[in-house]
């Protein structure tokens, strides 16, 4: 079974990296997956899931949350400002905080509710124009600004450029985190999570290796 295999590979990667067993959180990325596949993984005990689209997650997860205790949801896709309110009510963590206006909205909502999801700041380590994220050279200022708004910054997140060696990107993210005293590192996907663990990932985001290939046509 794919979940058991990925979990076993994760435990082996932790061990190889001299990391404590269970110190890396496996986020099962369930976006656009057919419900029976997600339910199978819930039935096997997985409780931490990642989603990319607020509306899709808001549609799917209330039923599963009622049925399975202890589900934690992580928002890993780009977050549009007009969906921020729904997102903070739904998600336990947001990995895609990538601009000052979004941070301000999140801070205002946190103030009003007296609680905030865990905040990860997305860094555009490859400086790709089409990709979301704070540029590396602006990361220190942005982290400080988020902290000044009392947002609970627990980690940094990156999505390395396609078809490039991800290791320099993992290293860069770890360096930015270390010099800012940020503990969490959300990095590593189906194809490279073991490398990410070797470079300090605390959260890996694995979709297709657990659930199978996504049918992109099914999204809308």
Ligand X SMILES: *Cc1c(COP(=O)(O)O)cnc(C)c1O
Q: Which is nearer to ligand X, 56 or 147 (CB)?
A: 56
CB of 214 to ligand X, least distance (A): 7
54 binds ligand X (CB under 6 A): no
Tokens read off for 99? 């601009």
Per-residue exposure over 111-145, b if at least 16 CB sit within 10 Å of its own CB, e if not = eeeeebbbbbbbbbbbeeeebbbbebeebeebbee
Orientation of helix 54-67 relative to helix 35-43, angle to 10°: 40
159 binds ligand X (CB under 6 A): yes
Q: Which residue is nearest to ligand X (CB)?
A: 207
What is the distance between the alpha carbons of residues 117 and 94, in angstroms, rounded to a whole number? 7
Radius of gyration of the chain (CA): 17
CB of 40 to ligand X, least distance (A): 16
29 binds ligand X (CB under 6 A): yes
205 binds ligand X (CB under 6 A): yes
Name beta bridge partners: 58.
none
Q: Which is nearer to ligand X, 141 or 165 (CB)?
A: 165
153 binds ligand X (CB under 6 A): no
User: Could you say which of 77, 126, 133, 160 contacts ligand X (CB under 6 A)?
Assistant: 77
Residues of this chain that interact with ligand X (CB under 6 A) are 29, 31, 52, 76-77, 159, 189-190, 205-209
């Amino acid at each position: 079974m794919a979940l058991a295999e990925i979990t076993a590979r994760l435990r082996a990667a932790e061990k190889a990296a001299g990391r404590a067993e269970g110190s890396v959180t496996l986020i099962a990325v369930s976006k656009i997956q057919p419900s029976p596949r997600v339910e199978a993984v819930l039935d096997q005990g997985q409780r931490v899931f990642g989603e990319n689209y607020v509306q899709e997650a808001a549609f799917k997860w209330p039923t599963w949350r009622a049925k399975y205790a202890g589900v934690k949801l992580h928002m890993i896709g780009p977050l549009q400002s007009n969906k921020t309110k729904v997102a903070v009510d739904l998600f336990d963590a947001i990995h895609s905080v990538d601009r000052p206006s979004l941070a301000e909205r999140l801070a205002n909502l946190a103030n009003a509710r007296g609680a905030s999801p865990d905040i990860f700041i997305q860094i555009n380590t490859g400086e790709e124009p089409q990709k979301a994220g704070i540029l590396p050279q602006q990361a220190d200022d942005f982290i400080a600004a988020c902290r000044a708004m009392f947002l609970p910054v627990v980690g940094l997140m990156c999505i390395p450029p396609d078809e490039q060696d991800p290791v320099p990107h993992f290293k860069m993210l770890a360096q930015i985190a270390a010099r800012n005293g940020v503990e969490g590192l959300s990095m590593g996907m189906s194809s490279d999570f073991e490398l990410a663990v070797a470079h300090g990932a605390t959260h890996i985001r694995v979709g297709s290796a657990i659930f199978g290939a996504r049918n992109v046509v099914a999204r809308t």
